[in-house]
Structure 1
Amino acid sequence: MTIYNEKLGAGFLETDGMRIEEGLYTAPLLHFQADLPDRDYTITLTSPASANVQEMELTVNGVEIQPTWVLEQQEWTCLFPFALVGTALHLHVEGSPAVLSTVEVTPIHERQRSTYPALFLIGDSTVCTYEKERAPMAGWGQMIGRFFQETIHIENPAMGGRSTRSAYREGRLNALLTDIKPGDYILIQFAHNDETPTKLDRYVTVDQYKTYLRDHYIRGVLQRQGIPVCVTSMNRRTFDKGAGTFIDSFPAYTNAMREIAEEQGLVLIDLNKKSLAYYNELGYEGTAAIFMQLKPGESPNYPDGLDDNTHFKKAGAQKMARFVAEEINKKIPALAPFIKEMDKPDSY
């Protein structure tokens, strides 16, 4: 390792308090840069046995890394995959102090296309899969498998409370990008948490939302020869009593997703529009049957009841999954042959 120089295109950038002694780089904050093309890499770090590696915090391009350090022959080692998208690689290590002996960045062999494409989902709590202890709550990603033949593998790493910002920062996008293969489809749905300014770890402006989608999610998928699909978020149970109709819960973010899909030439699944029409068909009282509206004693998992106008019971999640499958059947010819049970009624 060395101090960064443009000719080499790699090395440590000088930071406050940095020392270089006997091949060790030590500082409260170490910053390593490598000028590399977009692709997947294995990053391997070593540190002396005397270093307090468990207290060192690692990020790569703003993505939090939770490494597993292994002590062998008086040296700590950790390695992890990273999907580089659109910029140089910037490794930051903070500690009291941070100490590194070596940094190695090695390209991972490109993955080969599978016989059948896989379907990956990334999003928030309205998409994710719930454990049985939270039934009857369900996300549409939990139900979508019903509409596909078993030859289509479905991965659903969506997680509650996540936005484009937090799913990126926590490494959820990184894990997906290092897993997908050429020809796989990635359905991207965010908005519920992006538009919440009181939760700064999640919140993004509309412009930031579009930047995350374009420069991280979509670019990352395309670079790995995957196929991104934009999904507008279904609405909350947002009812305008004066007008007597349901309205878009987050119109600026809905329109932003539509604009990104058009700008990038991608398939758009307008789940927002579909859900709005469906809610208005049911009426305000009728939508209580699909949202997590529970009376005390109605569900053993919610003995005190629940008044939740965001999350779905199984009936609502299955209906959203059906809408998604219908749109895939219409708009993605490569996946249409694998769609099934569209003519069967939903069962709850």
Structure 2
Amino acid sequence: MTPIARAGSALLFVLLAGCAAVSGSKPADGGVRITLVGDSTQTEKQGYGTGFCANLTAAVDCVNRAKGGASTKTYRREGLWDAAQSPKPDWMLIQFGHNDVQSSAHLERQTDLVTEYPANLRRFVTEARAAGIKPILVTPIARRYFQPDGRIVDDLPGHVEAMKKVAAEMNVPLIDLHTLSQTYFEKLGETAAHKLGATKAGPDGSIVPDKTHFNLDGSYVLGRMVAEAMVASVPELAPYLRKEAAVRP
């Protein structure tokens, strides 16, 4: 791909991110509204949001309410949780963890793994159900922290297990995206996995892989993965999955 083509692809990704963030159009007869609630790894600009929505049929109004940098605490505090319920979705994919970690440099985002993080998830589930919304919990996507042996360092095992426990206790459908994505990245290998990711400036000004976020290729690959996992977890949503994987523009 030439530099001009790469630039054009990047621009298209940004344009898609800007126009697809919130739909809100009324679902067609027999259709459903599905809303994404989470952090940057769900967004159109840096996550799998564009690819996820592209893999759903025209009968789905796919609304993306994810916010970069959000944790289970800040998403509510900033009024994003209330906003995510309008227009009212039928289903809601809730994914947090990356910004809840206590090692985060952003202290205002942190939540206690043992008490606050699971309590926040339970509250999301309880309030969604009270509003007539069906929640689906999604474990945080794996970061691409490869070791020399080709395995990925798992930096969120506690959050993954905490979410699984909440899902089991409250009988909530679960998409274990953390395990699915980590297994997939390790099978691809470090070089190929990084080709799905964004890039950023390193400490010395060089361009290095962004091991958390995705480019448009990654959005479509991971978006399809999430869409298929959603249907596996909630079979009644199967009619809304495109039979063939969406092809990235």
* Distance verdict in 2 for CA 1:194–1:330, change over 3 Å: same
Higher helix share: 2
Segments of 5+ residues of structure 2 without an aligned counterpart are 1-28
**Once the 2 structures are TM-superposed, how far is the Cα of residue 204 of structure 1 from its aligned partner?**
0.5
**Once the 2 structures are TM-superposed, how far is the Cα of residue 115 of structure 1 from its aligned partner?**
4.5
* Distance verdict in 2 for CA 1:151–1:200, change over 3 Å: same
Counterpart of 2:16 in structure 1 is none
Counterpart of 2:6 in structure 1 is none
Asked if residue 235 in structure 1 is aligned to residue 142 in structure 2, the reply is yes
Counterpart of 1:51 in structure 2 is none
Counterpart of 1:110 in structure 2 is none
**Once the 2 structures are TM-superposed, how far is the Cα of residue 178 of structure 1 from its aligned partner?**
4.6
Q: Secondary structure at the match of 1:240?
A: coil
* Distance verdict in 2 for CA 1:265–1:148, change over 3 Å: same
TM-score (norm 1): 0.58
Which of 155, 169, 172 is the matching residue for 2:80? Answer: 172
* 2: CA distance, partners of 1:157 / 1:186: 10
Asked if residue 205 in structure 1 is aligned to residue 112 in structure 2, the reply is yes
Which of 172, 177, 182 is the matching residue for 1:276? Answer: 182
Higher strand share: 1
Counterpart of 1:118 in structure 2 is 33
Q: Is the 8 A contact 1:247 1:276 kept in 2?
A: no
What do the CA deviations read for 1:1-44 (whole angstroms, capped 9, x no partner)? xxxxxxxxxxxxxxxxxxxxxxxxxxxxxxxxxxxxxxxxxxxx
* Distance verdict in 2 for CA 1:338–1:208, change over 3 Å: same
TM-score (norm 2): 0.80
Please give the root-mean-square deviation of Cα atoms over the aligned residues, in Å: 2.2
Q: Is the 8 A contact 1:248 1:272 kept in 2?
A: no
Counterpart of 1:332 in structure 2 is 234
Q: Which has the higher contact order (CA 8 A, sep 6+)?
A: 2
What do the CA deviations read for 1:134-187 (whole angstroms, capped 9, x no partner)? xxxx31112212111112101101010110000010000011235325xx0000
* 2: CA distance, partners of 1:323 / 1:235: 13
Counterpart of 1:46 in structure 2 is none
Q: Is the 8 A contact 1:236 1:309 kept in 2?
A: yes
Query: What amino acid sits opposite 1:291 in the alignment?
Result: G
* Distance verdict in 2 for CA 1:345–1:338, change over 3 Å: closer
* Distance verdict in 2 for CA 1:304–1:240, change over 3 Å: closer
Query: What amino acid sits opposite 1:226 in the alignment?
Result: I
**Once the 2 structures are TM-superposed, how far is the Cα of residue 129 of structure 1 from its aligned partner?**
2.0
Q: Which moved more, 1:274-283 or 1:243-252?
A: 243-252
Counterpart of 1:129 in structure 2 is 44
Q: Secondary structure at the match of 2:167?
A: helix
Which of 53, 60, 63 is the matching residue for 1:155? Answer: 63
* 2: CA distance, partners of 1:253 / 1:316: 23
Query: What amino acid sits opposite 2:140 in the alignment?
Result: S
Q: Is the 8 A contact 2:150 2:186 kept in 1?
A: no
Runs of 4+ in 1 over 3 A off after TM superposition: 293-296, 303-307, 343-348
**Once the 2 structures are TM-superposed, how far is the Cα of residue 218 of structure 1 from its aligned partner?**
0.6
Q: Is the 8 A contact 1:319 1:346 kept in 2?
A: no
Query: What amino acid sits opposite 1:235 in the alignment?
Result: A
* 1: CA distance, partners of 2:245 / 2:71: 34
Question: How many correspondences in the alignment?
Answer: 217
* 1: CA distance, partners of 2:60 / 2:228: 16
Counterpart of 2:12 in structure 1 is none
Q: 1:188-337 to 2 correspondence within 5 Å? A: 188-195=94-101, 196-206=103-113, 207-215=115-123, 217-241=124-148, 243-293=149-199, 305-337=207-239
* Distance verdict in 2 for CA 1:223–1:277, change over 3 Å: same
**Once the 2 structures are TM-superposed, how far is the Cα of residue 338 of structure 1 from its aligned partner?**
1.4
* 2: CA distance, partners of 1:198 / 1:294: 18
Segments of 5+ residues of structure 1 without an aligned counterpart are 1-113, 131-137, 297-302
**Identity percentage of aligned residues:** 29
What do the CA deviations read for 1:169-221 (whole angstroms, capped 9, x no partner)? 0000011235325xx00000011111144312100011211000102x11110
Counterpart of 1:47 in structure 2 is none
**Once the 2 structures are TM-superposed, how far is the Cα of residue 269 of structure 1 from its aligned partner?**
0.5
Counterpart of 1:300 in structure 2 is none
